[in-house]
A and B are shown apart, each in its own frame.
Chain A
């Protein structure tokens, strides 16, 4: 009351100054800590960063392979599981019960334990016809665990679609499967894209857990370099590689979601 309204430039100025002060103080505190020089030498050896980058990046391809295959499978299996759990009527009670038990089990057990049990156990069985590749069992483990997570995301999406949509589809004579396929699931999937991306980024990071099986993927490769040089910079390389994958993926997904919304809602430019 009575004061003059600040101009639009003032907000920007305040933001810039507060950001500079905040990060300046933070940098000062960190670099003045007693162990900073040791820390810097251990993690920020730029020459080692450049030298070790190619071999660690090559090992990262195994992580990429694991999560690409796993994600493609999970997209389908998780949707299947979510649909099974949504089946109505008393006839499907055993199916629903099984789906619930599965979800509880594989969400509850730590991923690293599943990877250890299957990755060590299955090849050890030495059965005819059972693959003994550890990467194979690593992929199976991640698929089992993340199918449980992602199916819950899908299920939340399916349940968020108003029953009147199903009623409209059924009133046109579509079967309940057709209604699910053409009306409910397409809307459900659009709504859950952000949490779906969340789980997939989680999965991508969890590919580093495969290192417990001794597979020379990005984390083990970084450890090998670290052991040879007594320098932790390779871990920084590994961290960079993960971020290099997830950030563009997140922006790309944002773009897709925004484009779909613009197309459907008022005020946008028609495609």
Chain B
């Protein structure tokens, strides 16, 4: 696999909810094995961008190209496209009526057509890798937030996606549970998973991301390596945002 090959390209993406224009022309490209962090204040459009890339929200204008295929077009089979893109949500969104194992095998069985045995083998391997084997039969409500989010990541990975979208996956967690989830994300990044990560965890962005994009008012105002963004941001808005983060003690 060519490490420099393009994984995702977003061109001039626009998205409004009613009169509110949330995305006002996003341009973004991701190479394979690249980790890109989206930072910015709440309401800057990070989550909406991720939801648009996963086709959970229809886009108003622009193009989304995944591995050379335009997926924003209306003729595209959204179910097929989504199988190749994993997304992990801020509030986990595990299925509360299913065991951990069933949560993880549902996608592979129903969307990929794997047999029960194949799907369970795959799930067990992933659970073992992330230290969750003993939670296999548990129901989501009986796990800690950190465990639930790790299960949600495993559920996305079980589809063997080419691209993983992470939407503020640690924001709903108690501070002491954040580390275990970040650890999983670091591991995935080290393995070369292509990831687009909306996050408030600036230390994660600084240490792990290849590139950091600062969203403001529905556009990518500034992007660059973590060193550029965190140490010498050019835009005043970026400087302001980082200043507030530092004051809040989060960097």
List chain A positions with a Cβ less than 8 A from chain B. Answer: 164-165, 167-175, 178, 182-183, 186-187, 190, 263-266, 268, 270
**Which residues of B have CB within 8 Å of A165?**
93, 95
Contacts of B87 in A (CB 8 A): 171
| Cβ contacts B90-121/A at 8 Å (1 or 0 each) | 01011111000000001100111000000000
Contact B141–A173 (Cβ < 8 Å): no
Determine if A264 and B111 form an interchain contact, defined as CB atoms under 8 angstroms apart: no
Chain A residue with the shortest CB-CB distance to B144 = A266
**Best-buried of A167, A168, A171, A265 by chain B (most CB within 10 Å):** A171
| CB-CB nearest in chain A for B92 | A168
B-chain residues with CB within 8 Å of residue A169 when the two chains form the complex: 95, 106
Q: Is the CB of B89 within 8 A of A175?
A: no
**A172/B106 in contact, CB under 8 A:** yes
- Complex Cα distance A264/B140, Å? 7
Given A169-B95, A172-B159, A270-B138, 16 more pairs with CB closer than 8 A: A167-B93, A168-B94, A171-B54, A171-B56, A171-B82, A172-B111, A172-B155, A172-B156, A174-B106, A174-B111, A182-B106, A187-B95, A190-B97, A265-B139, A266-B141, A270-B137
Question: How many A-B contacts if CB must be within 8 Å?
Answer: 75
Q: Max chain B CB contacts within 10 Å: which of A170, A173, A175? A: A173
Q: Are B110 and A182 in contact (CB under 8 A)?
A: yes
User: Which residues of chain A are within 8 angstroms of B19 by Cβ–Cβ distance?
Assistant: none
B137-171 residues at the A interface, CB under 8 angstroms: 137-139, 141-142, 155-156, 159
Given A165-B93, A168-B93, A173-B107; A264-B139 close (CB under 8 Å):
yes
Structural contact, B141 and A264, CB atoms closer than 8 A: yes
* Chain B residues touching A, range: 20 to 34
Indicate if the CB atoms of B79 and A265 lie closer than 8 Å: no
Check A173–B95 contact: CB distance below 8 A.
Answer: no
- B142 contact from A168, A170, A183, A264, Cβ within 8 A: A264
In the assembled complex, the Cα of A178 lies from the Cα of B95 at a distance in Å of: 14
CA distance in complex: A169, B107 (Å): 8
Q: Mark B59-102 against chain A: 1 for CB-CB distance below 8 A, else 0.
A: 00000000000000000001110110111010101111100000
B139 and A172 form a contact (CB under 8 A): no
B49 CB → nearest A CB, Å: 15
Is the beta-carbon distance between A186 and B111 smaller than 8 angstroms?
A: no
Q: Whose C-beta in chain B lies nearest to the C-beta of A178?
A: B110
Q: Is the CB of B82 within 8 A of A265?
A: no
Given the contacts A174-B79, A264-B141, A186 and B97 also touching, CB distance less than 8 Å:
yes
Q: If A168-B93, A182-B106 touch, does A173 touch B137 (CB 8 Å cutoff)?
A: no
